[in-house]
Chains A and B, each alone.
Chain A
Amino acid sequence: MNVRKAKYGWVWSIFFSLLSVAWVFPILLVIVNSFKKKVYISRKPFELPTGKMFVELENYLRGIEKIQFFDALKNSLFITVCSVAVIILCTSMCAWYISRVKSAFSTGMYYLCLFSMIVPFQMVMFTLSKLANMLHLYNPIGIILVYLGFGAGLSVFMFCGFVRGIPLEIEEAAMIDGCTPIQTFFRVVFPILKPTCITVAILQAMWIWNDYLLPYLVLDIKRYKTIPIAIQYLRGGYGSVDMGAMMAMLVLAIIPIVIFYIFCQKYIIEGVVAGAVKG
């Protein structure tokens, strides 16, 4: 059996190499088209931008100006980084509290978090956007609170699962040595929770960075656009879409993700596996 596998191994390697090329083809196609004059994009999407089709960086410059790409990038970065940081900090503290303090509140909170994970966003989208509006949460700082609230379910659930595995003795020892609960948490518990923090951070970051509907409904989108909102905005009303600018902006939207992926690949894949097992 093992001998036969080795014999045909190279066939599979070639097969998967070809499949990998096919897999990245859609992205390559967008990159190629982002250098094409816009009228040729829908007409000849599979041709290389040669001769009069090639427009250098024209599409990029026009697209960046049209949707204020760098403002959107700034907003997306700010909202994602801050929300993830706040979610990690607050939900890990909350999860520790509800795992260690046995009360009706703890049990209730735990089951509510579990429950909130299966509620689709459409169920709360209208009321949530109205409530956020009433409370003036329609700016990049306010939306962090909304993300903390809507993302709390999954994070609290995952942290709880992990906190249960930490032996109580370690914490009690710290308390007897004179640590306050805050010191105990940050010096003893939080360092142990680090792997779960990475998992939660990756799952939440993937969601928040790519989220379209929640920021679209909650933010004051005339002033603050995130990248998905800015791209959807390019489509505009019913008229024809500026395909050149669209392709260029798609490329710019993908680049930060690919860079992030290349550097954090190991953590992302481990995070996904760990998240799936806990979920």
Chain B
Amino acid sequence: MQKSLKRYFPIFAFPTLAAFTIGFFIPFVMGIYLSFCKFTTVTDARFIGFGNYLKILSDRTFLHSLWYTAAFTVVSMALINVLAFTVAMLLTKGIRGTNAFRTVFFMPNLIGGIVLGYIWQLLLNGILANFQKTLTYNSAYGFWGLVVLMCWQQIGYMMIIYISGIQNVPGELIEAAKIDGAKPAQILFHVTIPMVMPSITICTFLTLTNGFKLFDQNLALTNGEPSSMSELLALNIFNTFYGRTGYEGVGQAKAVVFFLLVALIAIIQTRLTRTKEVQH
């Protein structure tokens, strides 16, 4: 079978391979190369070594956005997961109307980042107007605005994943713990949580990478204002590319650093939580 299938390579594998090469592989390799070049378009690239990377180190806005993004990611990840898990626990107890609640909580997820950003801009600015302030008054308002927005968007999604995880915990296990005299808190921490660890791995992974890569919501909600102080990394990179001529190389170098950070976080996170998973 392998042999006859092999002759069909042009039909089966070629279209995806070609598109993958154009849409991902070439841009990726070129991106790495260009991060060592000075250029304004792709054709006038001149190799300059680590110059772009050195410029990043002295770029205040980049370092600020790095910390801003890190803080945002950690805070939103923690809040989203704790809240989503709590809601999932309650919605697996057979409360009347569970399906309707699930439907409602999940819905914001389908709305795109740009639209979400403007929805929350209206709401949050409306509330802040009572205190004569706006979202762009200082970067803390933008920060918490984004956190609230992300919670609203992602809790439903994570809740769905947690619910399926919790439903897969065998009932006998909980019963056995109860008969052995375990208190509800003990059951939660020693039975339920270890058993849903795979879901926790997935959800923390998703919230971490989503938070770190956030762009649309940031663009629509505050657009980095006041003066780039509420700029997340992705937006900072975008503005370096398209906002300042002559800085394309620096933008590309930032993008490489960004990619390395995302990859590093993804690897460390999966390693950490995978080791806590129980086999059954």
Interface residues of A (CB under 8 A from B): 1, 5, 9-10, 12-13, 16-17, 19-20, 23-27, 29-30, 33, 41-43, 45-46, 90-91, 93-94, 96-98, 100-103, 105, 109, 112-113, 116, 118-128, 130-132, 135, 137, 145-150, 152-153, 156, 168, 171-172, 175, 180-182, 185, 206, 209-213, 227-228, 231-232, 235, 243, 246-247, 250, 253-254, 257-258, 260-261, 265, 268-269, 272-273, 276-277, 279
A180 to chain B, nearest CB (A): 8
The yes or no answer to B9 lying at the interface (CB within 8 A) is yes
Q: Are A253 and B27 touching (Cβ within 8 A)?
A: no
Give the residue name and chain of the A residue nearest to B216 (CB).
Answer: A212
Asked if residues B161 and A23 are in contact (CB atoms below 8 Å), the reply is: no
- Verify if B188 is at the interface (C-beta below 8 Å from A): no
A122 touches B255 (CB 8 A): yes
- Chain B residues 214 to 268 lying within 8 A of chain A, measured CB to CB, are 215-216, 219-220, 234, 237-238, 241, 248, 251-252, 255-256, 258-259, 262-263, 266
Q: Are A126 and B23 in contact (CB under 8 A)?
A: no
Q: Does B49 contact A (CB under 8 A)?
A: no
Question: A30: which B residues are within 8 A, CB to CB?
Answer: 119, 122
Q: Which of A29, A131, A210 has the most CB of B within 10 A?
A: A210
Q: Sort A-B residue pairs by CB-CB distance and give the 8 closest, nearest first.
A: A149-B23, A210-B112, A45-B126, A149-B19, A94-B16, A124-B27, A127-B27, A97-B12
Instruction: Provide the bound-state CA to CA distance between A137 and B93, in Å.
Output: 52
Is the CB–CB distance between A152 and B19 below 8 Å? yes
Any A CB within 8 A of the CB of B68 = no
From B73-81, B102-110, B136-144, the one touching the partner chain is B102-110
A131 to chain B: which residues have CB within 8 Å?
A: 22, 26-27, 30, 42
Which bucket holds chain B's interface residue count?
A: 35 or more
Q: Which residue on B lies nearest to A155, using beta carbons?
A: B16
Given contacts A156-B16, A253-B115, contact A118 B263 (CB under 8 A): yes
B95 touches A279 (CB 8 A): no
Label chain B's interface by main secondary structure: helix
> Is there a chain A Cβ closer than 8 Å to B72's Cβ?
no
Known: A93-B12, A93-B16, A228-B115. A119 touches B96 (CB 8 A): no
Please state if B13 and A93 are interface contacts (CB–CB under 8 Å).
yes
Q: Would you call B19 and A148 a contact (CB within 8 A)?
A: yes
Counting CB contacts under 8 A, is B90 at the interface?
Answer: yes
**Contact between A171 and B95, CB atoms less than 8 A apart:** no
Interchain CB contact under 8 A, B94 and A100: no
Chain A residues within 8 Å of B4, by CB? 175, 180-181
Which of A146, A156, A185, A254 has a CB less than 8 Å from the CB of B22? A146
**Nearest chain B residue, comparing its CB with the CB of A175:** B1
> A182, B23: Cβ atoms under 8 Å?
no
Q: Closest CB-CB distance, A179 to chain B, in whole Å?
A: 10
Judge whether A276 and B202 touch: CB under 8 Å.
Answer: yes
Given contacts A120-B262, A150-B23, A175-B4, contact A94 B17 (CB under 8 A): yes
A231 and B16 contact, Cβ closer than 8 Å, known pairs A145-B23, A175-B1:
no
Q: How far is the CA of A135 from the CA of B21 in the complex (A)?
A: 13
* Docked CA distance A69–B256 (Å): 36
> Given A131-B27, A212-B112, is A24 in contact with B96 using a C-beta cutoff of 8 Å?
no
Chain B nearest CB from A154 CB (Å) reads 12
Residues in B whose Cβ lies below 8 Å from that of A42: 125-126, 129
- Shortest Cβ distance from residue B5 to the other chain A in the assembled complex, whole angstroms: 5
Closest to B259 in A: A123
CA distance A43 to B130 in the complex (A): 10
Residues in chain A near residue B120, CB distance under 8 A: 26
Within the complex, the shortest CB–CB distance from A240 to chain B, in Å, comes to 13
Chain A residues near B262: list those with CB within 8 A.
118-120
B104 touches which of A24, A29, A147, A254 (Cβ 8 Å): A24
Whole-angstrom distance between the alpha carbons of A9 and B30 in the complex? 59
B30-46 at interface with A (beta carbon < 8 Å):
30-31, 34, 41-42
Contact A150:B24 (CB < 8 A) given known A228-B115, A276-B206: yes
In the complex, the answer to whether B24 meets A250 with C-beta atoms within 8 Å is: no
- Of B111, B120, B161, chain A has the most CB atoms within 10 Å of the CB of B111
Task: From the candidates A128, A227, A250, name the one contacting B119 in the complex (CB within 8 A).
Answer: A250
